[in-house]
Structure 1
Amino acid sequence: MLKIFHFLLLLLLHLLQAQALTSPSDISALKAFHSSIKPRSIPSWSCLASWDFAADPCAAPQRTHFICGVSCSPDATRVTQITLDPVGYSGQLTPLISRLTQLTNLDLSDNYFFGPIPSSIYSLRKLQTLTLKSNSFSGSIPDSVTTLNSLESLDLSHNSLSGNLPKKLNSLSSLRRLDLSYNKLTGFLPKLPSNLLELALRGNSLSGYLSKSSFDGLTQLEVVELGANSFSGTLGAWFFLLPSLQQVDLANNSFASVEISKPAGGNSDLVAVNLGFNRIEGNVPANLRQKKTLRRLFLDGNYLIGKPPADFFAGDTEVSGSLGDNCLRGCPGNSQLCTPRQKSYAVCKQAYGGKLQF
Structure 2
Amino acid sequence: MSYNSLSGLIPHSLSNLTRLRRLSLSKNSFTGKIPSSIGSLLRLEELFLDNNNNLTGSIPRSFNGLVNLNRLELQHNNITGDLPVLYQLRNLFFLDLSDNRITGNFLTSRFSKSIIELSLRNNYLNGEFPLNVGELKFLQVLDLSHNLLSGIIPSVLFYHSSLQQLTLSYNNFTLLQMPEDLRHRNNKLIAIDLSYNNLHGFLPAFMASMPKLSALNLEHNNFSGMIPKQYAVKVVVPRNNTSSFERLLLGGNYLFGPIPGPLLGLKPGSVNISLVDNCLYICPNTLYICHGGNQKSFLDCKKFRPMIP
- How high is the TM-score relative to the length of structure 2? 0.82
In structure 2, the residue matched to 1:139 is 57
Which of 325, 330, 340 is the aligned partner of 2:252? 325
User: What does the per-residue CA deviation read over 1:138-174, in whole Å, with 9 as the maximum and x for residues that have no partner?
Assistant: 11111221221111000000111111111x2211111
What letter matches 2:9 in structure 1? Q
Q: 1: distance between equivalents of 2:36 and 2:57?
A: 11
State the shift of 1:348 in Å. Answer: 5.5
In structure 2, the residue matched to 1:17 is none
Which of 273, 281, 291 is the aligned partner of 1:337? 273
In structure 1, the residue matched to 2:45 is 128
Tell whether the 8 Å contact from 1:228 to 1:252 is kept in structure 2 after alignment: yes
Q: 2: distance between equivalents of 1:254 and 1:228?
A: 10
What letter matches 1:206 in structure 2? L
State the shift of 1:269 in Å. Answer: 1.3
State the shift of 1:316 in Å. Answer: 3.7
In structure 2, the residue matched to 1:255 is 173
What letter matches 1:142 in structure 2? P
In structure 2, the residue matched to 1:173 is 90
State the shift of 1:88 in Å. Answer: 1.9
What letter matches 1:294 in structure 2? L
Q: Relative to 1, partners in 2 of residues 1:337 and 1:197: Cα closer, same or farther, differing over 3 Å?
A: same
In structure 2, the residue matched to 1:39 is none
In structure 2, the residue matched to 1:188 is 105
User: What does the per-residue CA deviation read over 1:225-274, in whole Å, with 9 as the maximum and x for residues that have no partner?
Assistant: 11111111001111121101111111111110111313176332111000
Which of 199, 207, 219 is the aligned partner of 1:280? 199
What letter matches 1:340 in structure 2? V
What letter matches 1:327 in structure 2? Y
Greater length-normalized contact order (CA 8 Å, ≥ 6 residues apart)? 2
In structure 1, the residue matched to 2:290 is none
| Residue-pair matches, total | 270
Q: Relative to 1, partners in 2 of residues 1:316 and 1:275: Cα closer, same or farther, differing over 3 Å?
A: same
What letter matches 1:290 in structure 2? S
Q: 2: distance between equivalents of 1:189 and 1:221?
A: 15
Q: Relative to 1, partners in 2 of residues 1:296 and 1:357: Cα closer, same or farther, differing over 3 Å?
A: closer
Q: Relative to 1, partners in 2 of residues 1:251 and 1:97: Cα closer, same or farther, differing over 3 Å?
A: same
Which of 157, 166, 173 is the aligned partner of 1:239? 157
Q: Relative to 1, partners in 2 of residues 1:349 and 1:220: Cα closer, same or farther, differing over 3 Å?
A: farther
Q: CA RMSD in A?
A: 2.0
What letter matches 1:302 in structure 2? N
Q: Secondary structure at the match of 1:184?
A: coil
Instruction: After TM superposition, list the pairs within 5 Å mapping 1:1-358 onto structure 2.
Output: 84-135=1-52, 136-166=54-84, 168-190=85-107, 191=109, 192-213=111-132, 215-261=133-179, 262-263=181-182, 266-314=185-233, 315-317=236-238, 318-319=244-245, 320-330=247-257, 332=259, 334=264, 337-342=273-278, 343-344=296-297, 346-347=299-300, 356=306
Q: Which structure shows the bigger proportion of residues in helix conformation?
A: 1
5+ residue gaps, structure 1, are: 1-83
Q: 2: distance between equivalents of 1:173 and 1:252?
A: 30
Q: 2: distance between equivalents of 1:250 and 1:316?
A: 28
Q: 2: distance between equivalents of 1:345 and 1:174?
A: 56
Tell whether the 8 Å contact from 1:275 to 1:298 is kept in structure 2 after alignment: yes
5+ residue gaps, structure 2, are: 239-243, 267-271, 279-295
Higher Cα Rg, which structure? 1
